[in-house]
Amino acid sequence: MKKYILSVVAILMAIAVFAQDTNTFLWKVSGNGLKKDSYVLGTLHMACGPDFRIDDKIKEAIKGTDRIALELNANNPETVKALQANIGPVPGFFDGLAPEKKKLIDSVLTAKNLNPAMLDQVGPAVLVSLLSMQAFECQDPAAMKSMELELLKLEGAEGKPVDELETAEYQINLMNEFFKAEDLYTYLRDMDIMKAETKKLVAAYFNNQPKELEDLMAKTSTMSPEKEELMLTKRNKEWLNKMPEMMNNNSVFFAVGAAHLLGKNGVIQLLKDKGYTVTPVI
């Protein structure tokens, strides 16, 4: 269930486009009356064990903070319980989908040892999260690492309070709203392409190559302006309503999907718009 929580948001990395002109995914937040510096890390959320690593600069940054803030905390039993209570099916999910597209969905799911009827028991968020994990093609799926869970294990992180920027109910409902039957069809139709692109994306991330990652995302993005507003912009602005108060008296280490960081409506620019000094940690 913990890996499922992170896999829901891992999809965001595979479908969003963002721009970055420095070779880092870690940023320091200071100024604007802050008593202590805070940090914002853009994460890949998950990767196969052999590919995974956490840079020393991230370890040092998290040591010096008072609190940690994640999109969701997979170590929080209440979060897990809330997810389990909200993973039900979406009535009429396939209504209006062309029969030949439904047939392709069923055949691909069957080939991947997934029962097409599972969408009668769970929402598309659950199914797409399972498929996204398969796209990494780890030799040992059980050894898949999640950045957020590994961050919480670091020296200096254990025992620190962990805040959540969103609720489990919100994320499940968001993913179910985002992924319609047509999106599931497109995702499954192009999944072999996505597997190849995922390998390149992982390499670009762990080699601190934002421009390469940006190019890959631009090539694979399928988001309409409306969906970008729903999945990225709206959420970024809601987080920015919470972050100032969180940083006011504490040094906070924020870890969110890297797709949320950049652009005119990204977390970095929105922090600057509020008067903070945001500098890359190279």
Which runs of consecutive H residues, i.e. helices, occur in 112-233?
A: 124-135, 147-151, 168-178, 181-189, 191-206, 210-220, 225-228
Give residue 282's pLDDT band: very low, low, confident or very high (50, 70, 90): confident
- Residues 132-156 have pLDDT tens digits of 888 898 999 888 999 999 999 999 9
Is the Cα dihedral 185, 189, 191, 194 positive or negative? Answer: negative
The residue that leads in pLDDT, 19 or 200, is: 200
Mean pLDDT of 94-105: 95
- Residues 13-43 have pLDDT tens digits of 433 333 345 789 999 999 999 999 999 999 9
User: How many residues comprise the chain?
Assistant: 282
Helix (H, G, I), strand (E, B) or coil at 214: helix
Mention every residue, 6+ apart, whose C-beta is less than 8 A from residue 47: 136, 144, 145, 147, 202, 205, 206
Instruction: Determine how many CB atoms are found less than 10 A away from the CB of residue 223.
Output: 19
Beta pairing partners, 279: 28
Residue 168 near residue 82, CB atoms below 8 Å? yes
